[in-house]
Structure 1
């Protein structure tokens, strides 16, 4: 009897120890630590191996040697401290990625208004490597340069991103599932008229976003839309045109996406900073400017400004913290952290003009994003947040 009792006690001790070990090794849900932090940037083009003739012009203009294809890791290295706390990093991969034979001759010889971008294959590894090891890295391939090396080049881009541990979004109408290191799930869905679901088709936008919201709860949407250039900093609720193309209505897109369940809308394409707006409890960044655009680009003010939009999403998709981490570039596209927070100041002032009453306010010293009345963000469950903190019904 005593022997049986000893065996049972030993079995119980082993079982209890196993459960305790499992409990200690189980990942802590991100929401218990304040939410999931996602940091997203604007346009990224780390040089182009489709045409390097721009180097001669840049050398003459700058009066020094210019490298056509520097190491992608060295270009992105300044971003490392800005991304150290991110659970998810979202890049807009503005061009194909790959080496070897050219699969498409996009631009005619001597063209001055056509640009074709294919970044070296090492770009995929660099995009993954600059983020923290624990972060999930996502690359958006829904933009107007995704097919610069043809459909074969786009498939190669997705393949290289996957091999480097970068999830591709914007490939089709299905959202990309993102599972953080702590086990929290959200979805990312990219839109562009040239590659990926068309953001001008608003009924389709609503269907795609609603499907993602119903399945994943938290949804981040990216849009590559809007007219380009230094004169396009203001956001209008109307159709925009650029290079003879209908570039859609970014405000109408954001409205459709948020009403269908998007919690965060990330815009890029105009190559300049634009306003940031609160739509219900969702946050819309209409354009994050140029983040890292190395090569044949104009980088005079304000085209040299960009930044990372970093937002913390709680379990229901509520934004409980957000900031704009400002960056800048010096020719021919070398990024730096901007301690003057110029991008944040631009976004704040543009918001007051374009969206009086609903624009996000930004602290000029820190880039902290606040509510339209200037008050700081608070968790949606806090009664003091009032109607601004109420959850949308999905």
Structure 2
């Protein structure tokens, strides 16, 4: 009998050890599992958004695009502030399509105004209108985009007439400034002008968020070169110098876009920079083949003055004609890990395999 009980005890111990091993193997640390500090705020950034176009031909999704971000809506809406870059215009019909220096790479997007409801449902607070597609339908498109966002309660910045946007939430005041090298946009290449805008914004808000549309486009341009980038004869800026200069001027979080692929991230002077957030939700008008279809949702946690604590990457994937899906293979996390190490080896940023971004201040 004593031997029988000894066997039971050994069996129970073995089962307990096996369970402990299983629990430890599934104990995944993400930003949401960390205990936030009392003064923590969260800001989500995503890349390019173009929810379908009816110009020059109908490439609109079914259900007015309601399915496009449905899977990631719980992620997007779970932050104090959520930001995205709106490619194209919100306009039902009409407008004068833009003309480009090189017609072979000239694309114009016109998305019906009702599609703004998808942005509202996903929880977007701020959008950049500083990019090469904001003027796709001329002044009529620009005015319609701004009016549509405003009526939906979404702030915007980046057009010459609306350089910045400010709002307050839970006693924290946020400001957005957006820049691009394109007509009617606040200039990316006027560094002194950009510094002045950011410094003024920093004097009246707690957290300054900067968006830029810069860098060359395509899969061969994943790296940040630390020099001016030219693309089809256009100066797309020195985004490395631009980002560091604006943090020196008072920026707290910088979200880049423009290359249509994801680039690396770094922390400079305890402030977070994502150099390109890629194609987030671009239905049928922008290529999502291969790495062009991989993009992060990055949730940045800071104190109430913008000092970086940590961040979390949610990896997403698009294929042609589908909405945004969470990528179980976490491919974009691997890309950001690799690019960040190679492009910013001096930045003490750590990115684990689950997308948690931490920083050891020097």
Give the alignment's TM-score, normalised by structure 2. 0.84
**TM-superposition CA deviations, 1:278-300 (whole Å, max 9, x none):** 11111110001110010232222
Of the candidates 55, 70, 74, which is equivalent to residue 67 of structure 2? 74
User: Deviation string for 1:166-185 (max 9, x for gaps)?
Assistant: 111213364311212x2321
What is the rounded CA distance, in whole Å, between the counterparts of 1:70 and 1:362 in structure 2? 37
Unaligned ranges ≥5, structure 1: 1-30, 56-66, 376-386, 389-394
CA distance in 1, matches of 2:168, 2:66: 25
User: Which SS does the other structure have where 1:156 is aligned?
Assistant: helix
The match for 1:190 among 160, 163, 178 is 178
Residue pairs, 1:20-39, within 5 angstroms: 33-39=38-44
Corresponding residue of 1:127: 119
For the 8 Å contact 2:45–2:255, the answer to whether it is kept is: yes
Give the Cα separation in 1 of the matches to 2:39 and 2:297.
20
CA distance 1:333–1:231, shift in 2 (3 Å): farther
1:103 to 80, 88, 95: 95
1:266 — aligned with what?
255
CA distance in 1, matches of 2:142, 2:217: 23
SS of 2:212's partner is strand
Among 95, 101, 105, which residue is 1:113 paired with? 105
CA distance in 1, matches of 2:165, 2:264: 26
Q: How many angstroms apart in 1 are the aligned matches of 2:135 and 2:163?
A: 19
**Residue of structure 1 aligned with 2:218, choices 229, 246, 250:** 229
Structure 1 95/220 Cα, relative in aligned 2: closer, same or farther at 3 Å?
A: same
The residue that corresponds to 1:158 in the other structure is 146
Aligned to 1:213: 202
Aligned to 1:323: 312
In structure 2, the partner of 1:301 is 290
- For 1:201-248, what per-residue CA distance to the aligned partner results, in whole angstroms no more than 9, with x for missing partners? 111111111111111131110000000000000111101011221111
Q: What are the superposed Cα offsets for residues 117-140 of structure 1, whole Å, 9 maximum, x if unpaired?
A: 111212222101122xxxx61111
Map residues 1-394 of structure 1 onto 2, 5 A cutoff: 33-52=38-57, 71-100=64-93, 102-106=94-98, 112-131=104-123, 137-172=125-160, 174-180=163-169, 182-194=170-182, 195-358=184-347, 360-364=349-353, 366-371=354-359, 387-388=361-362
Root-mean-square deviation (Å): 1.9
- Structure 2, unpaired ranges of 5+: 1-35
Partner of 2:68: helix, strand, or coil? helix
Preserved CA contact (<8 Å) 1:230 1:272: yes
Cα distance between partner residues in 2 of 1:113 and 1:370: 39
Quickly say closer, same or farther: Cα 1:333–1:143, change in 2 above 3 A.
Answer: farther
> Post-superposition, which runs of at least 4 consecutive aligned residues in structure 1 deviate over 4 A?
67-70
Task: Work out the CA distance in 1 between the residues paired with 2:322 and 2:87.
Answer: 14
Scaled by the length of structure 1, the TM-score of the pair is: 0.78
Match of 1:62 in 2: none
Q: How far 1:33 sits from its partner (Å)?
A: 4.0
Counterpart of 1:349 in 2: which secondary structure?
helix
1:71–1:178 Cα change, 3 Å: same
